[in-house]
Structure 1
Amino acid sequence: MGRKALGRGLGALLPEHSEDEGSRVRHIPVADIEPNPFQPRMNLDEAGIEELKRSIQEKGVIQPIVVRKLEGGRYQIVIGERRWRAVKEAGMETIPAIVREVSSAEEMIELALVENIQREDLNPIDEANAYRVLMEECHLTQEEVAQRVGKDRSTVANLLRLLKLPDEVQERILDGELSMGHARALLALEDPQEQVRLCREIIKNGWSVRKVEQVVRARRAVRREEKPKDKDPILRDLEEELQRALGTAVRIVQGGKKGRIEIEFYSNRDLERLVALLMR
């Protein structure tokens, strides 16, 4: 049996004409409404909800939420959980809502996730998780997901790759401490522990995406030049300690009783920073 093609976001749910919308909006008790179990946002911004609450107190709810009817006279949010939470915080007893017939849990998931994905302020990790849920619960391919949300398949694929990063790195992206650009640079490193270490260095030093890309290229070049089995474990440990201390790629080359230490720098300012660290 063919599936109903969705992916129009709010357009799939809200009436196209204002007169139709007016006839369908109801004022439903806030206490009778349940949150959406498929809300893609892992962290609902409390500051944002507080700002929305103040706006609602001043101007009211401009756009109704969308709900589906449950048994026992209750409702479940399809779209508009932030508005619902803001209304609750404002102490209002009812909220304007449009009741829609949603025939299956699969359709509920798709409608809720697609609308959120089409918003510009969705965190990359939240967006990636939304794609993952769409693929797993709605049995969609990356290409089908891309069609429903109106994005290139490569965009969907790149976001899904973020979910391969260690949990600590994903948390930093969720918190806004790392950008999508930083995350993509970290993906070029194969070792999860190295990804975490570099993540911490980025936050500590406030590195730009370009700086991180330079560091990653240098570290990958070092890995290509030498096989781990050819390097003395003690020297590898010393390299890692120096890299953590200096915040850049370091290579120790030993030949007999002599050797050299190679320290990467990427600009005059970076060189001055390294000299200052070494002169302490």
Structure 2
Amino acid sequence: IKELGVLQPVLVRSTGSSEDEFELIAGERRWRAARRAGLQTIPVLVQTADDSNSLEQALVENLHRQDLGVLEEAAAFQQLIDEFGYTHEQVAARVGKSRVAVTNTLRLLQLPASVQRLLSEGQISAGHARALLGTPDRAFQEELARSIADEGLSVRTVEEMVRERSGGPPPRPIAVPEADHVGTSGAAGRGQRLPPAGILELEELLSDHLNTRVKVDMSAKRGRVVVEFASLEDLERIYKLMTGTPADR
């Protein structure tokens, strides 16, 4: 900001009390950073908005922060639903995420308070938390969450423990399409079925980091990573996460 200034205008509205008095709707971090950098002026967009619209815009702006915790994000999604009557699809379109990502994030609010606390403190990951949702037994969720924090259990291990508790079948091996293989001889050419050990956990880690669905396909000699995005804005968000580009650029 010292070198280039504020590139993205902040959003304000008139307070109505005087012509040169405005209320900040979105962009508080940019405004505070500009003050610390010693800037006297910054670009603004003046918008006509009532209290309801201002809150909605502030929520959406906040949701585009890269350092937003997953539970903070879930709470903001829920506020958009409760206060503005959004559906999951509308939330997804408004914030540039897939509907599945929005729904999965909202489900984290169903976890017991003690589990949510471990998640917010970083003692368990969002992948762990989603795996815990595979059982309706809240006492078991809390017990397993403590084990994750104490023993460093992997997401894959938690999924297996939840599956065993629920009496579900073991996961099926991943069938790799023949088209994904290099060459046509040997096991690779016959559509070898690979166990998902490590692959599902890697998908979870990538999905958590990029906050979207990620699919990893493996063959004998090569692999492919498919990253889903909901819009061009969502693609730009993913690009910035992958390259470390600042959110305001």
Q: TM-score range by the shorter chain?
A: 0.5 to 0.7
Q: 2:110 aligns with which of 164, 169, 172?
A: 164
Pairwise CA distance, 1:58: 5.9
Pairwise CA distance, 1:217: 1.6
Structure 1 residues 70, 123: closer, same or farther in 2, change over 3 A? same
Structure 1 residues 66, 214: closer, same or farther in 2, change over 3 A? same
Checking the alignment, whether the CA contact within 8 Å between 1:162 and 1:184 is kept in structure 2 is yes
Do residues 75 (structure 1) and 26 (structure 2) align?
A: no
Aligned to 2:122: 176
Q: Which amino acid aligns with 1:164?
A: Q
- Structure-to-structure mapping, 1:177-192, within 5 angstroms: 177-192=123-138
Do residues 64 (structure 1) and 9 (structure 2) align?
A: yes
Residues of 2 paired with 1:95 and 1:215: CA distance? 57
Residues of 2 paired with 1:210 and 1:95: CA distance? 51
Q: Which runs of 5+ in 1 are unaligned?
A: 1-55, 223-265, 267-280
Deviation by residue 1:86-135 (Cα, 9 ceiling, x = unmatched):
345x3847451414223222322332222333454432212211111111
Q: Which runs of 5+ in 2 are unaligned?
A: 169-196, 198-249
Pairwise CA distance, 1:195: 1.8
Residues of 1 paired with 2:81 and 2:70: CA distance? 17
DSSP 3-state at the match of 1:96: coil
Aligned to 2:58: 112
The structure with the greater share of residues assigned to helix is: 1
Checking the alignment, whether the CA contact within 8 Å between 2:5 and 2:42 is kept in structure 1 is no
Structure 1 residues 99, 151: closer, same or farther in 2, change over 3 A? closer
Residues of 2 paired with 1:78 and 1:167: CA distance? 31
- Structure-to-structure mapping, 1:201-240, within 5 angstroms: 201-221=147-167
Checking the alignment, whether the CA contact within 8 Å between 1:78 and 1:108 is kept in structure 2 is yes
Structure 1 residues 166, 97: closer, same or farther in 2, change over 3 A? farther
TM-score norm. by structure 2 comes to 0.57
Aligned to 1:84: 31
Deviation by residue 1:174-205 (Cα, 9 ceiling, x = unmatched):
23332221110111222323222221211111
Identical counterparts, % of pairs: 43
- Structure-to-structure mapping, 1:136-155, within 5 angstroms: 136-155=82-101
Aligned to 2:247: none
Residues of 2 paired with 1:58 and 1:201: CA distance? 48
TM-score norm. by structure 1 comes to 0.51
Q: Which amino acid aligns with 1:194?
A: F
Question: How much is the aligned-residue C-alpha RMSD, in angstroms?
Answer: 2.8
Residues of 1 paired with 2:77 and 2:10: CA distance? 23
